Chain A
Amino acid sequence: MKIIVLMKQVANKDAVLRVGNDEKWIDESDIAHQTNESDGYALEEALRMKEAKGEGEVVVCTLGGQSAKTVIKDALARGADRGIHIIVENDQKLSPHQIAKTIADAIRDENADLIFTGLQSDDASYGQTGVILAELLGIPHATIVIDIDRESLNGNLRVKRELESGWYQWFVYQLPALLTIQSGISQIRYASLKGIMAAKRKEIKEVTPTIEDFGAAQQIQKVYMPLKTKQTQMLGDGDVKRGAAELVEKLKTEIRVI
């Protein structure tokens, strides 16, 4: 069983973001990066599938600039078998369809049994790369997958999708299929020292794609700090304890819940 996991490098969750000079993206200089959260869960699920099956290959694939190689190296250290790096600098300029098309061209010949992605990226948050990719590859998909029945590994795959407001639904798929994985599907493992050492010998294939124009692309005209919808009263003026005391006063006299 071959599973391809698509993973993306994004700005660190705690990074302080500044709007870039062209006002079309953030200023990427000096920004710390991390692997997109739900992609990490996608990798974990793929590794667990391979372990449950007792055979197979987990291939991690990322599209991004040279710095994104960290994502692949980290995945290899956790247990992925090899990597494919589709090298595109300034990938934030690509629309979701362009990203999906570029990935489709790079992985089509792998003929994977399963493709996993996180359910959306924490930067552009398009949430559609996986679904478009499935359509381009002509395979069925499921989004927001929160559980996979590993008992079903040898037949048709049973996957649990999250619906809204606490509802869930199982679907049965024939392979190949593409699944977008929800955060929290399982606890993510750490890379072991052995894994880190082993990763150094694993293959990372580099692909330099030709990006095709896409006439129907959505284009970011401008990014900016969100407009405030509310007047926020800031309390304490930097002194948390004073702020807390002031807040209790407000809870008593203005909000009246004490």
Chain B
Amino acid sequence: MILVFIEHKDCVLNKTSLEAITAAQGIGKDLGLKISAVIPCDKDCALAQEISNYDLEKVIMAKNEKLGIYTPDGYTDAWEQVIKATNPTYVIMAHTYQVRDFAPKLAARFGKEVVGDCIRYRNEDGKLVFTRRIFLGKLDADVIIEGDAPYFVTFQSGAFRGDNAEKGGSANIETMDVEVGEIRMKPEAPFQEAKASIDLTKSAIIVAVGRGIKSQENIEKAQELADALGADLAASRPICDAEWLPIDRQIGSSGQTVAPKVYIALGISGAIQHIVGMKNAGTIIAINKDAEAPIFDIADYGIVGDIFDAMPVLVEEIKKAKS
């Protein structure tokens, strides 16, 4: 069988769990395995009913009063018992920040490791081959897992479509009272930093800068281009880390996820963490001096060269075109 992790906060679903269900359903069909969803919670989780509408054999509610708020110790203990009780072949999860926090610990408890952040898999005569992106997106690696089950696999956000998760049937909801040992970390309540002053998810056009912009002074040049286009200015993580632009302009897994009509990436190489935040843009335009930069793999239009040569020409030509 396959176990799939349902992530939630206060019984509100993390939607990437639906992507994990889609992945698990695909693997289940390929290998002839049934699927159960696992929801750790401190009560009769309000999510269980919703998840039971998907095409699953069971929904297992792993219940303990210490599972109300996520901790790596609590989740690992709970999962350990579910796995021991069910003997799964695969444990499938979405590669979220929470999963990154506890899945390797859980796998280690079984003498295993995680094949993490996979972007796809294929079935070779009943043996699964997973593809991971390595070297900041510059290369792909096909990976197999040796040894016996359970196998722990996580998939990158967007690797599968959550709305492709098949419904139908009504899975049995089963409560499993799990024991949780000492929790060695004390969580405080999660919070959002000062509300973002700009909501880039509503932008029609975004001009985003990466390392290639080189210095804070040069941000102005990108701003001129953004102004000429009527676009909002955004950035990849290193730019916000350096505080050249405020963090509310950051696009990517730790920043905002956007889908504007047009996304212009200036000097952004296209690390996975950035790409997950903008790959659904209508038209992606990349300008980068490195012809091998991964950003070109997802771009509709590309220019290889120095952004400082391109930006003034763009501004001038846009102004001409508009007048």
Chain A residues within CB distance 8 Å of chain B: 11, 13-14, 16-17, 19, 26, 95-97, 100, 122-128, 131-132, 134-136, 140-144, 156, 161-174, 177, 182-184, 215-236, 238-241, 243-245, 247-248, 250-252, 255, 257-258
8 Å CB contact of A219 from B114, B117, B146, B314: B146
Which B residues are within 8 Å of any A CB, using their own CB?
71-73, 96-98, 100-105, 107-109, 111-117, 129, 132-148, 184-193, 196, 204-205, 229, 237-238, 240-242, 247-248, 253-257, 261-262, 269, 283-287, 290, 292, 294, 296-306, 309-311, 313-314, 317-318, 321-322
Q: Which residues of A contact B114 (CB under 8 A)?
A: 96, 128
B185 near A128 (CB under 8 angstroms)? Answer: no
Q: Contact: A240 with B310, CB < 8 Å?
A: yes
B206 to chain A, nearest CB (A): 11
Q: Which of A124, A128, A220, A241 interacts with B313 by CB under 8 Å?
A: A241
Q: Which residues of B contact A183 (CB under 8 A)?
A: 237-238, 241
Contacting B237 at CB < 8 Å: which of A170, A184, A229, A238?
A184
What is the total of A-B residue contacts with beta carbons within 8 Å? Answer: 274
Q: In the complex, which of the residues A17, A143, A239 contacts B100, with contact meaning CB atoms closer than 8 Å? A: A143
A71 vs chain B, min Cβ distance (A): 18
Is there an interface contact between B241 and A169, defined as CB atoms closer than 8 Å?
Answer: no
Measured in the bound complex, the distance between the Cα atoms of B238 and A184 in whole Å is 8
- Given A236-B303, A244-B317, does the pair A174, B184 have CB atoms closer than 8 Å? yes
B190/A168 in contact, CB under 8 A: yes
Asked whether, in the complex, the Cβ of A172 is within 8 Å of the Cβ of B141, the reply is: no
- A258: nearest residue on chain B (CB-CB)? B321
Name the distance in Å between B259's Cβ and chain A's nearest Cβ: 14
Whether A235 contacts B294 by the Cβ 8 Å rule is: no
Asked if B204 contacts A169 (CB within 8 A), the reply is: no
- The complex places the Cα of A252 from the Cα of B321 at a distance, in Å, of 8
Given contacts A183-B237, A240-B303, contact A232 B296 (CB under 8 A): yes
- The answer to whether A135 and B108 have CB atoms under 8 Å apart is yes
* B-chain residues with CB within 8 Å of residue A123 when the two chains form the complex: 134-135
